[in-house]
Amino acid sequence: MHIGSLLPTTLVSHEAEIDPVFDGRDEAALRTVGMDRDGLADPARRDRMRALGEAPTQGLARRLMGEGFHGLPVRSFAPGAGDQDPNLVLQR
């Protein structure tokens, strides 16, 4: 069940060196793995997961982990956020 939304909030702040990461802010790089910005921000991803067993973003994460990537920097898709508001999605 999904209730409400979590607006941009710093829950925890860490300093770390994580390498390699796949740059999910780079549209050309996203296209090479069959994804785009709209796909990352898909508001129906939970519905797709229920219907298909795996959302396209989950498939992307699985693929990138298989290729040795540990994370994916992406822009925040929270209301009011923009390109200057990145998030780092960690996969390992």
Q: Angle of helix 56-66 relative to helix 45-52, nearest 10 degrees?
A: 80
The predicted structure's pLDDT at residue 92: 73
52-74 average pLDDT score: 95
What is the per-residue pLDDT for 37? 93
CA pair distance 47, 37, nearest whole angstrom? 18
Does 22 have pLDDT greater than 90? yes
Q: What is the pLDDT of residue 2?
A: 59
Confidence of residue 20 (pLDDT cuts 50, 70, 90): very high
Task: For residue 34, give Cα distances in angstroms to 26, 38, 56, 81, 85.
Answer: 13, 12, 9, 24, 23
What pLDDT is recorded for position 25?
A: 95
What's the chain's Rg over C-alpha atoms? Answer: 14
What's CA 2's distance to the chain center, in Å?
Answer: 18
pLDDT of 46 above 70: yes
Confidence of residue 71 (pLDDT cuts 50, 70, 90): very high
CA distance 67 to 63: 6
